[in-house]
Amino acid sequence: MNPLRSSVLSALLPPGVVVVGTRVGLPVLAMATLRLSSSSSFFAYQQQKVGLTAPQRPPSSFASTSPPPPLVVCSIPDRHHLPLSHSSAEASSGRISLGFCTRQSVGFCTRQQSWNRNLAVVAAAASVTEVGGGGSSSTISREEVVREDDPTNNVPDTVFGKIGLQLHNRKSHPLGILKNAIYSYFDETFPGVFHKVDNLLPIVSVKANFDDVLTPPDHVSRSYNDTYYVTADTVLRCHTSAHQAELLRQGLTHFLVTGDVYRRDAIDATHYPVFHQMEGLRVFTQQEWEAAGMDGTALAAQELKKTLEGLARHLFGDVQMRWVDTYFPFTDPSYELEIFFQGKWMEVLGCGVTEQQILCNNGCAGTTAWAFGLGLERLAMVLFDIPDIRLFWSNDSRFTSQFKSGQLGTKFKSFSKYPPCYKDISFWISDEFSENNLCEIVRGIAGDLVEEVVLIDEFTNPKKGKTSHCYRIAYRSMERSLTDDEINALQAEVRQQVESKLKITLR
């Protein structure tokens, strides 16, 4: 959310209510929360403005903030020298590292660069996920990613089970269809120019995910409440911007990176802990801006807008659009593109002119660039009329059979609406309570049978100084009717785990 709009909204809300930003990737929700820790805010707002407490090491896997690693700093050189070579798109291929499954390989970050081939899931959600392609495969063991005894790890089994599924690489899946439609636009507009990468491992270093894209040490996106940490130094990438620096270092100057990204978050029809993003980046040389008679930043900004307006028209037809100023740590100026679609303004993507320091740190001194990041689910839900984000993960043929490779915008026909079942849970919270932790517990127990978790009541007892929350959990399967016994068992387990793990007192 644009910080400006945030502050306007804040003025309309009761004291103590903080308006949080939205993440690029999912539909815009004007979210207000009483607690920053339960926000889904991410990069698009300035953390400084909301006064976070100092980061600290978590006492358990449900702790809320992360240690701030140092930032890489470089001096910004004169823009007028060192034009960048347009090196071959093949720069990143051919270096394949196997043996990923060994315990010693936990330093995933070192292998990330060389992990560049088709990943095909052979077994997911088991104790070992086998990934590989082209005749060889490798495995990531559950123990490497879900390490319950390590307080710096907060990856649950439900999330581990999604690694390697690569929905975006399925040609007849809405996300694959959308990815290919975006590829077509870039291929038609810039024939042979953009290199496409869609198989990078989602386990990346903290450095790649945050430091390399200049995320401030105390930025909320680094917190354990918002990001999945595998170790203190490795995370499940929370955005595809995690690959900007490495691809620049490999010499790529025009690229699109697509992949699954992971964020701890609320539960509702538009939020899921795993979703998909596409990142684009294009570098400009001094010759290019001189030939255009502009300065490098102005050319990048102009080209960015032209390119993305064209993309929006390619996907949505002749729509009304507007540019909204925003903030990202990695771009300046930064914008969100919104389109007027189906009667309302919808945020389509975040983008901007890449910070000089990123270019300079990664072998591209003397250039400028634009970058964008868009969420595939968010756009696919609108383009294909898909009402619930869980459907993207469904193997039910009543869902999968409705989409065909190359057919963007086929309207999804709901095949059932099984009745929901609502269960409430009330408790006195402690200072450490975070809604994301609650949601993770519910998701861990009920999986995709949970449709929504909503705070329906909240009050503070002034004498005791204690605050009570009541959440309504909606259970509903998209594929079958749930029995009372089944739901009661789930709810009993939720109550038990919430009480034992969240330091709350059930009412």
Q: Which residues lie near ligand PHE (CB under 6 A)?
A: 23-24, 42-44, 239, 241, 279, 328, 330-331, 350-352, 371-373
- DSSP single-letter state for residue 402: T
- One-letter amino acid identity for 36? L
Least distance from C-beta 373 to ligand PHE, angstroms? 3
Q: Which is nearer to ligand PHE, 337 or 425 (CB)?
A: 337
**CA 84 and chain centroid, separation:** 30
Q: Residue 268: beta bridge partners?
A: 271
Under a CB-based contact definition with an 8 Å cutoff, are residues 207 and 241 in contact? no
Q: Which is nearer to ligand PHE, 308 or 450 (CB)?
A: 308
Give the helix/strand (H/E) hosting 138: strand 136-141
Spatial distance between the Cα atoms of 390 and 393, rounded to a whole number of angstroms: 6
Q: Which is nearer to ligand PHE, 235 or 487 (CB)?
A: 235
Spatial distance between the Cα atoms of 53 and 123, rounded to a whole number of angstroms: 41
Least distance from C-beta 239 to ligand PHE, angstroms? 4
Q: Which is nearer to ligand PHE, 2 or 241 (CB)?
A: 241
Residue nearest to ligand PHE (CB): 373
Least distance from C-beta 359 to ligand PHE, angstroms? 13
Q: Which is nearer to ligand PHE, 316 or 328 (CB)?
A: 328
Q: Which is nearer to ligand PHE, 154 or 354 (CB)?
A: 354
* Residue 484 half-sphere exposure toward CB, CA atoms < 13 A: 0
Least distance from C-beta 259 to ligand PHE, angstroms? 12
333: preceding bond cis by omega (within 30 degrees): yes
Least distance from C-beta 278 to ligand PHE, angstroms? 10
Least distance from C-beta 350 to ligand PHE, angstroms? 4
Q: Which is nearer to ligand PHE, 210 or 229 (CB)?
A: 210
Least distance from C-beta 385 to ligand PHE, angstroms? 24
Q: Which is nearer to ligand PHE, 209 or 434 (CB)?
A: 209
First to last CA, the chain: 35
Least distance from C-beta 24 to ligand PHE, angstroms? 4
- Token couple for 445: 């127990």
Spatial distance between the Cα atoms of 492 and 503, rounded to a whole number of angstroms: 17
Least distance from C-beta 22 to ligand PHE, angstroms? 9
Least distance from C-beta 482 to ligand PHE, angstroms? 34
Rg (CA), the chain: 22
- DSSP single-letter state for residue 356: H
- Token couple for 224: 């354990």
Q: Which is nearer to ligand PHE, 328 or 403 (CB)?
A: 328
CA distances 261 to 23, 182, 202, 326, 401, Å, are 12, 18, 7, 22, 25
Spatial distance between the Cα atoms of 38 and 455, rounded to a whole number of angstroms: 11
Four-residue CA torsion sign, 475, 480, 483, 489: negative
Burial, 424: exposed, middle or buried (Cβ in 10 Å; 0-12, 13-18, 19+)? exposed
Helix axes 296-316, 174-189, angle to 10 degrees: 130
Q: Which is nearer to ligand PHE, 328 or 471 (CB)?
A: 328
